[in-house]
Structure 1
Amino acid sequence: MTTDKRLIDAAAKLLDAGGEEAVTLRAVGHTAGLSHNAPYKHFENRSALLAAVATVSFADLAEAMAPIRQSPRAPLEKLMATLDLLMDYGRERPARYRLLFNNPETAAAGGELKIKALETFNHFRSIVQECQQGNDLPDAPSETLASLIFATAHGLLTIEGNGQLHPEKGLSSVKASMETLLALLAPSQK
């Protein structure tokens, strides 16, 4: 394993265990079993190291989505499986999820990070397109519809993470709420 990869893995472990504030270049070097100066030789700064973690994480998500997208399941089942994957990721790795989807620096990044983020989105968008072709979702620009569906799931995950997902408000769970949304979006069969 290269030194860069060891440092990225160490930063990801620290991020998962203690959030972004736990990721210092000194702590990353120590966690990787390297000198405290090693990260400075491979990454311009902490932001560059976090961008590398985000790039690898987006690639991992895209890799996990690919078999769902290529599976013989019905399109709507693929979409729910992909949403389940994202929901599980957000719950199991909340700090990394925030880095990917709530961090302004990540959103503004270009280069390889942007390429991997778009690759992940394109898997999701392609599944939405399949649902549209199967008449499970309305005819609308697939990028817009995919973004709206993801934004809703993201908002629900945020509400859940903040302890504000309450059945008395009509939101029993993220999954049930997403299933309701998809049912509401389904074109009527006249």
Structure 2
Amino acid sequence: MNRTYHHGNLREALVDAGVALARGGGPQAVVLRAVSREAGVSHNAAYRHFTGHEDLLAAVAARCTEQLGQLMISRTAAVGPDDPVPRAWARLEAIGRAYLDFARTEHGWFRTAFSGAGGHGGVKQAGPHPTDPGADPYLLLAARLDELVEVGALPADRRPGAEYAAWSAVHGLSSLLVDGPLRDLPEDEVRLAAQSVLAVVSRGL
């Protein structure tokens, strides 16, 4: 159903429309004409806020990535109180499972999040990561790894670069399950694959 734009922030309305289209159709559905139509404004109006398709897709991708981050936050918050070390490992596993679940249940958002993604600010930062990672999946992962160091579960000298290995493993499995040769894997095998990859990440750390 088309949305009619009445007032407020038109750029946000266009991004909202793009996110709605991406959920069902992935990045291919995020085009200026379709987004303008969904928002109930003229095609020309969109060009006042976006220089072109890539600019629009990047904005929508950022919002889809934020959706992933919010799921990771909620899953982390659901980890009950425990001894610091088991809790830190459980929180790391929770965000990994959230990532896999998001990919499998929100195909459109998952594909869009990475098809139009810009460079993560966290990757470029030197020194400690921000205290508040917001809903950035990279920074949320970094925070969980930092927590492992803080509770003594991960030696500090093994912390640098750990996010690259962990992220690559979970994203790789997610992609294989969504768009790759594992997309028709039976559910019990999916659970085994997830458990195996997350266990390998933990053992590697």
**TM-score, normalized by length of structure 1?**
0.75
Who is 2:148 aligned against? 131
Is 1:91 matched up with 2:104?
yes
- Change in CA separation of 1:123 and 1:83 when aligned onto 2, cut-off 3 Å: same
Gaps spanning 5+ residues in structure 2: where?
1-7, 126-132
SS at match of 1:42: coil
SS at match of 2:43: coil
- Change in CA separation of 1:134 and 1:86 when aligned onto 2, cut-off 3 Å: same
Q: Is the 8 A contact 1:128 1:146 kept in 2?
A: yes
- Residue 46 (structure 2) aligned to one of 29, 36, 39: 39
Q: What amino acid is aligned across from residue 63 of structure 2 in structure 1? A: V
Who is 2:200 aligned against? 181
Q: What amino acid is aligned across from residue 137 of structure 2 in structure 1? A: T
Once the two structures are TM-superposed, the CA of residue 2 in structure 1 deviates from its matched residue by: 1.7
Q: What amino acid is aligned across from residue 164 of structure 1 in structure 2? A: L
- Change in CA separation of 1:44 and 1:83 when aligned onto 2, cut-off 3 Å: same
Deviating more after overlay: 60-69 vs 45-54? 60-69
Q: Is the 8 A contact 1:54 1:100 kept in 2?
A: yes
Q: Is the 8 A contact 1:14 1:28 kept in 2?
A: yes
Question: How much identity, in percent, do the aligned residues show?
Answer: 25
Deviations 1:30-75 (A, max 9, x none): 1112223321222111111111112223344444444626964611
Greater per-residue helix proportion: 1
Mapped partners of 2:200, 2:139: distance in 1: 21
Mapped partners of 2:72, 2:120: distance in 1: 22
- Residue 100 (structure 1) aligned to one of 113, 134, 157: 113
- Residue 17 (structure 2) aligned to one of 4, 7, 10: 10
Q: Is the 8 A contact 1:125 1:142 kept in 2?
A: no
**TM-score, normalized by length of structure 2?**
0.70
Gaps spanning 5+ residues in structure 1: where?
none
Number of aligned residues: 179
Deviating more after overlay: 30-39 vs 78-87? 30-39
CA RMSD, aligned part only?
3.4
